[in-house]
Amino acid sequence: MAQRGIREFDAKRMLTAGVSRYAGSTATCEARLALVSPQSDLDAFPDAFPWLTETNLAVKPDQLFGKRGKNNLLLLDANWQDTKKWIEERRDQKETIIQNGNAITGILTHFLVEPFTPHTEEYYLAITTEREGDVIHFSPKGGVDIEELWDTVQEFRVPILADVDDLHLEDELPIANLTDKNLISAFMKNLHKFFVDYHFTYLELNPFTLKDHQVVPLDCVARVDDAAVFQCMDKWGSLYFPTAFGTSRSVEEEHIKAIDAETGASLKFNILNPAGRIWLMVAGGGASVIYADTVVDLGYTEELANYGEYSGNPSTEETYEYTRTILQLMTRQKDQHGRNKYLIIGGGIANFTDVAATFTGIIKAIEKYGDALKRVNTKIFVRRGGPNYKTGLDLMKRLGERIGIPMEVYGPEMHMTRVVKLALEGE
Amino acid sequence: MESYTLFDVDTKAFVYGSQRVAVQRMLDFDYMCRRKEPSVAGMITPERGGFEKVFWGTREIMLPRYQSIKEAAASHPEADVMINFASERSAYDTTREALDIDTIRTVTVIAEGVPERHARILAALAKKNNKWIIGPATVGGIKAGAFKIGNAAGTPENIAECKLYRPGSVGFVSKSGGMSNECYNIIARNTDGVYEGVAIGGDLFPGSTLMDHLLRYEANPDIKMMVCLGEVGGIDEYTIAEAVKSKKLSKPVVIWITGTSATVMPKGVQFGHAGARADSALETAEAKNRALKEAGLIVPDSFDDFDIKIRETFDQLKKENKITPAAEIEPRKVPMDFKQAVSEGLVRRSTNFVSTICDDRGEEHSYAGVPITKVIEEKYGIGGVIGLLWFKKKMPVYVTEFIEIVLQVIADHGPAVAGAHNTIVTARAGKNLIESLIAGLATIGPRFGGALNGAAEHFTFGLRSGMSPREFVDHMRKNNVTIQGIGHRTHSIENPDARVELMIGYAKKHFREHPLLDYALKVQDVTTRKRGNLILNIDGLIGILFVDMMRNLGFTEKQIDEEIKIGVFNGFFILGRTMGFMGHFFDQQRLMQPLYRHPFDDILYEVPEKPEEVRLTGRGDEK
């Protein structure tokens, strides 16, 4: 549960429906939007969205990345035929974009199509959150270069317990045209109410413009708090959280994700380097980060094979599946230099998770992969504490003796991460 | 109480939510520390009031359960802490409610997944009213030797190992709840122990911050040094660096920000906690660790040296005589839970109950070893389920079908029979389903429905004794016993009962052998010679066919006698007829039938004018 980026399409869809809910809502939004997905039948689009053939259009990928103009992924002022052709040339194709100086390659899948709005004025508007309240950022000089023009950005703070209607935005906006000024200040207030009610955590319209007394958001970036799904189910409508552009999951990662989605426990698994020699199987959100840190801090970043965690009292079956997935990857091939591989079964001292019970599933999986683990020269290090840990550690020790894999087993007497050092410095 | 003190040895708390285990762990801790009274004033459980039984040492005590926060607070104005186990859906509302109550000063929010905006509102409300929120998404915290929040610090065994039963000199605060327990262990092994520890929770906007608690520890003269574990994401830790620079924090602080590996993780990997996400360079673990080190805090190179830095700092304070290590005391022993002792093989106990027909313990309930899903998949049907639960047998299809035919045949025989009549009269008296059903079932016995068992018994006796049907009938008459299952009000040899014909046909077709049926039909030949309606009736036939069915299934004669004796045959009648009785009940309800009163003219009143005088012959009457 955390802040999640959403598609520009969804943000605008919610925005156009949302801001008109509030009193004094003179400022409405352009509401014509269409999202193209890999399944969309473009030939059927004009029937579903008649405006596509009535006005010129703007189209861009809608996959959580910005700077689409600079990445040459923006088509403006085009008719439907050209728009369609433009999409068809790019849909399901690999594309490399530059973001924050990094090149990221991914597949283009989703596109946002809107009416093209010729305009002169470009405004910047964003709402961010801080502990004490929200901050509304506004600049009359919006656009792609806003970062260079940051000194034109005004900040209006809305304390968390305050009402945005108590702010006198209209007095402070540096806009000459009185009608525009009133329209924008009213819109800003409604936008903030919308931001609050829909549990947004970040919302940026850069730029937006005005047309016929309507606000037209030209570009929009948004994040919502997915913990609010219960409160916002109706307001959000069907809201899907896409993964970042360029991230693709392996079969194994998908497998664990599927189990995670179905259980009350938490199971996370990310492959960093399948050829890495250090495999982590760590219990707990806090401890898992620290084990990965320690490998990195000790200078073995390139050997770190995975990151993940299991917590919240997973069942024996779930820990078995989790372990099996890791072991399957770990035993796929020997290290190319024939060096040892390390499986670190780590964790802090649990508050209430039954250690012996979670170990039962892990042991079952290790037993199954015993020969394979030996083949790739595995050493196992165990460190764990918490309810029933002595029984759990005993079970592990006996397992090591039974299947003949070198294994070191420690409880709370050993500093939590020292097994990492023990493993790596034994090299 | 000083403003920097949230908990002491007299602190009383409410636990919101049905958290018996957490409450018991709190009380075990209290008992271990020799607190005078339990730290839990009561549980708040909207679904139910009354009491909860918990242990205080070996003794059981009654802990009140309240259905609202207001009610609990009114009954215990001395309780100033609420430990809120409400789900992420209701944590916000219940915490707000608690903050509105004057006597509650600190609320711990355990739930993970409280929306950020709600958490920020709670934090602001608490601050406005000089109150404290710990959490959300936390396990809580512990004040050594004084007060423990919920499940913090784990088992009594761990509490003993980490010396949390008496205060040390170290104030600890972390984001992670899981790691807090680990750190109590690290601190116990490298210093004189924890004075107080708090996990503020892994969310981006915790109700109280690392800094808030460090400032409390700074103000507390009993705390000599502080240990803090932060996390990648957010910028709260910079306020700590500032506070050290400006001397607002003057005691030594050993601190480590976890998540140094975040920069090597692929984009989009969510670390364990919701708040563990760096959106800007400032929020990375490296940047924060560096800034803290530059500000003069004690920062290890890696978590792996955290213990060493803590030990060095403590030893230095000792050398400078700034610390007098806490004296060792013996914690009071907490009795082991019976369940744990069993799992460790330390005790055993003879059971009071034994059950051999089903098991409800595993992942899935089973009937005689067959999981219920398999019962459905393999189409056991009602007959098959009866086979499993009454006889622990997987019955062949002809038997389960036979059982189901029987149940259908005897489901109802009209509203006039004793049982249905009683059900109807009771229903009309305004009684509920179960009472009306019981009234009907109560009539089942030797005279109503009892023919099943009776016929089985009588005919089995006849067949086994070797008497010819003629001899059997004579024997019964001689002994003044009416043969059960013989005779019908309307049906006769000339006007046979179609149901009887049907069932005899079924048995002859499917049963390998049916000796008792053959015998009973011969007996019928004898009795119908006397009068045409002395036929084998449906109840009798069912009883007889069940005996034959059991023989087919391999029951011994002795086993068959036992089944008759314990009333299994009546069981079929009760089960089947229950369908009818319930039908009558629902019918009467829907028809809204009023109380039934029997008409005078249907009762023969034959009452004497006066009662018979009894001659008094007792001792007192002789005078």
Model confidence pLDDT, tens digit, residues A329-385: 999 999 999 999 999 999 999 988 889 999 999 999 999 999 999 999 999 999 999
* ipTM surpasses cut 0.90: yes
pLDDT confidence of residue A251: 92
Which residue, among B569, B527, B529, has the nearest Cα to B547 in the 3D structure? Answer: B569
Which residue, among B406, B424, B405, has the nearest Cα to B414 in the 3D structure? Answer: B424
What's the rounded Cα separation, in Å, for the pair A351 and A347? 11
Say which residues have a Cβ less than 8 Å from residue B402's Cβ, sequence separation at least 6.
B383, B506, B507, B510, B545, B549
Which residue, among A424, A352, A24, A367, has the nearest Cα to A185 in the 3D structure? Answer: A24
Mean pLDDT confidence for B385-389: 97
pLDDT confidence of residue B451: 82
B149: closest chain A residue by CA: A351
Chains A, B: CB contacts under 8 A, how many?
A: 200
Instruction: For residue A224, give how far its alpha carbon lies from the nearest alpha carbon of chain B (Å).
Output: 10
Mean pLDDT confidence for B78-98: 97
Pairwise CB contact (< 8 Å): A348 & B181: yes
Instruction: For residue B127, give how far its alpha carbon lies from the nearest alpha carbon of chain A (Å).
Output: 10
Please name the member of A1, A418, A420 whose beta carbon is closest to the beta carbon of B112.
A1
pLDDT classification of A26: cutoffs 50, 70, 90: low
What's the rounded Cα separation, in Å, for the pair A351 and B364? 28
Pairwise CB contact (< 8 Å): A286 & B258: yes
What's the rounded Cα separation, in Å, for the pair B57 and B332? 9
pLDDT classification of A147: cutoffs 50, 70, 90: confident
Alpha-helical (H) ranges within A92-140 are none
Residues written for chain A: 427
pLDDT confidence of residue B336: 87
Strand partners, A408: A381
Per-residue pLDDT tens digits for A44-101: 999 999 999 999 999 999 999 988 988 999 999 999 999 999 999 999 999 999 887 8
Contacts of B264 in chain A (CB under 8 A): 272, 296, 301, 304
pLDDT classification of B219: cutoffs 50, 70, 90: very high
Instruction: For residue B307, give how far its alpha carbon lies from the nearest alpha carbon of chain A (Å).
Output: 7
Contacts of A276 in chain B (CB under 8 A): none
pLDDT confidence of residue B269: 67
pLDDT classification of B438: cutoffs 50, 70, 90: very high
Residues written for chain B: 623
Q: Say whether B273 is catalytic.
A: yes
Pairwise CB contact (< 8 Å): A286 & B232: no
Specify the DSSP class assigned to residue A29: E
Contacts of A293 in chain B (CB under 8 A): 258-261, 285, 302-303
Instruction: For residue B124, give how far its alpha carbon lies from the nearest alpha carbon of chain A (Å).
Output: 7
Q: Is residue A425 scored above 70 in pLDDT?
A: yes
Which residue, among A47, A43, A110, A97, has the nearest Cα to A71 in the 3D structure? Answer: A97
B258: closest chain A residue by CA: A290
Pairwise CB contact (< 8 Å): B261 & A309: no
Catalytic residue chosen out of the listed positions B118, B213, B273, B458:
B273
Instruction: For residue B421, give how far its alpha carbon lies from the nearest alpha carbon of chain A (Å).
Output: 52
The pair of three-digit structure tokens given for residue A220, joined into one six-digit string: 């929009």
Pairwise CB contact (< 8 Å): A349 & B185: yes
B150: closest chain A residue by CA: A351
Contacts of B123 in chain A (CB under 8 A): 131, 160
What's A3-236's CATH class?
Answer: alpha beta
Please name the member of A289, A294, A412 whose beta carbon is closest to the beta carbon of B304.
A294
Among B258, B279, B286, the residue to mutate for chain A (most A Cβ within 10 A)? B258
* Chain position carrying tokens 């215990």: B76
Please name the member of B89, B181, B303 whose beta carbon is closest to the beta carbon of A230.
B89
Q: Is residue B622 scored above 60 in pLDDT?
A: no
Contacts of A164 in chain B (CB under 8 A): none
Per-residue pLDDT tens digits for A243-278: 889 877 889 999 999 999 888 888 999 999 999 999
B120: closest chain A residue by CA: A131
Contacts of A412 in chain B (CB under 8 A): 158, 161, 185
Q: Is residue A178 scored above 70 in pLDDT?
A: yes
Q: Is residue A1 scored above 60 in pLDDT?
A: no
Lowest mean pLDDT among A109-113, B60-64, B225-229, B283-287: B283-287
Instruction: For residue A184, give how far its alpha carbon lies from the nearest alpha carbon of chain B (Å).
Output: 25
The matching CATH number, chosen from 3.40.50.261, 3.10.20.740, 3.30.590.10, 3.40.50.920, for A251-424 is 3.40.50.261
Instruction: For residue B313, give how far its alpha carbon lies from the nearest alpha carbon of chain A (Å).
Output: 17
Please name the member of B123, B155, B268 whose beta carbon is closest to the beta carbon of A387.
B155
pLDDT classification of B270: cutoffs 50, 70, 90: low
Per-residue burial over B551-581, b = 16 or more CB atoms within 10 Å of its CB, e = otherwise: bbeebeeeebbebbeeebbbebbbbbbbebb
A282: closest chain B residue by CA: B272
* Cα B204 to Cα A204, B118, B135, B255, distances in angstroms: 20, 12, 11, 19
Pairwise CB contact (< 8 Å): B154 & A301: no
pLDDT classification of B264: cutoffs 50, 70, 90: confident
Backbone φ and ψ of B379, nearest 5°: 55, 50
Contacts of A221 in chain B (CB under 8 A): none
Among B303, B305, B306, B334, the residue to mutate for chain A (most A Cβ within 10 A)? B303
A232: closest chain B residue by CA: B115
Per-residue pLDDT tens digits for B276-324: 666 677 889 999 999 999 999 999 999 999 999 999 999 999 999 999 8
Taken in order of first residue, the domains within chain B and their CATH numbers are: 13-319 (3.40.50.261), 361-395 (no CATH), 409-591 (no CATH)
Please name the member of A131, A159, A391 whose beta carbon is closest to the beta carbon of B205.
A131
Lowest mean pLDDT among A120-124, B266-270, B525-529: B266-270
Contacts of B305 in chain A (CB under 8 A): none
Among B142, B255, B271, B286, the residue to mutate for chain A (most A Cβ within 10 A)? B271
Contacts of A301 in chain B (CB under 8 A): 261, 264
* Cα B77 to Cα B82, B104, B180, distances in angstroms: 12, 8, 31
Pairwise CB contact (< 8 Å): A247 & B266: yes
Q: What is the pTM of this model?
A: 0.81
> β-strand A154-159 against A220-225: which pairing, if any?
unpaired
**End-to-end CA gap in chain B:** 85
Per-residue pLDDT tens digits for B226-263: 999 999 888 889 999 999 999 999 999 999 999 999 88
Per-residue pLDDT tens digits for B328-386: 899 999 998 888 888 778 999 899 999 999 999 888 899 999 999 999 999 999 999 99
Mean pLDDT confidence for B56-85: 97
pLDDT confidence of residue B565: 87
Q: Is residue A17 scored above 60 in pLDDT?
A: yes
Q: Is residue B623 scored above 80 in pLDDT?
A: no
Contacts of B202 in chain A (CB under 8 A): 285-286
Q: Do domains A3-236 and A251-424 have the same CATH topology?
A: no
Question: Where in chain A are the domains?
Answer: 3-236, 251-424
pLDDT classification of A23: cutoffs 50, 70, 90: low
B121: closest chain A residue by CA: A160
Answer whether the bond into residue B371 is a cis peptide, omega within 30°: no
* Cα B450 to Cα A31, B522, B572, B579, distances in angstroms: 78, 22, 11, 18
Which residue, among A265, A243, A387, has the nearest Cα to B112 in the 3D structure? Answer: A265
Mean pLDDT confidence for B126-140: 96
Per-residue pLDDT tens digits for B16-60: 999 999 999 999 999 999 999 999 999 999 999 999 999 999 999
What's the rounded Cα separation, in Å, for the pair B154 and B156? 7
Pairwise CB contact (< 8 Å): B268 & A351: no
Please name the member of A1, A301, A304 whose beta carbon is closest to the beta carbon of B274.
A1
Pairwise CB contact (< 8 Å): B274 & A227: yes
Contacts of B285 in chain A (CB under 8 A): 293
